[in-house]
Amino acid sequence: MTAKLVYEPYVCLVRADSSVKSMMDLTAAVKGASSKLVVAGFVRGSGSHVAWETYTHSTGLPDNGVNWVPYDSVGEGVTAILGGHGAVTIAYVDLVEDYVVAGQLRVIGVMSDKRLHDLPDVPTLKEQDLNVASNWEQWRGVIGPKGRPDAMKRSSGDQVMLSNKGVPEWRNGASA
């Protein structure tokens, strides 16, 4: 990796009018549901799907307790939740923040070691007494061909970071 540009911990979301207010509520809802809870998510094997599976396995939820409905993008999963076609989704903050601010979606948990700067009132899964791997996150970066000299990697990474130095959004989310 030449430069790690952005990292986005996964967040678990429900519609704002949902009776589910926390990850513990979600766990209880899945366990007590008379029919399968619909999770609107990105394709099977995607980061959000693995994040969901990490949560369900750590809480002992049955594999057949939900119906994972795969969509072609995380955004389509979010749209499905907004339209009432699912109960929950896993996404990342930059994709859902406007809906949260507008009061349409509620974030019920963050898969991170610490709370997010943009959502300081949302507890992590660990803060909700869930023993879930908290380091599962989406990240983007700059890569190059194998075998490049370290000096070239550093120079490329430094140039990327320098070119975005004056962008506030970049400073808040970028790390080298």
Q: Which CATH number covers residue 15?
A: 3.40.190.10
**CA-based nearest residue to 107, from 13, 37, 40, 15:** 13
176 within some domain: no
152/109 same-domain check: no
User: Domain of 12?
Assistant: 3-138
Q: Say yes or no: 101 and 154 in one domain.
A: no
171 confidence band (pLDDT: 50, 70, 90): low
Dig out the tokens for 136 from the structure: 């599962």
Q: Measure the CA–CA gap between 145 and 46, rounded to whole angstroms.
A: 24
Same domain for 146 and 66:
no
Residues 106 and 132 in one domain: yes
Number of domains in the chain: 2
Q: What pLDDT, on the 0 to 100 scale, is given for residue 173? A: 54
One domain for residues 70 and 17: yes
Q: Say which range, 16-25, 40-49, 104-113, 142-151, has the weakest mean pLDDT.
A: 142-151
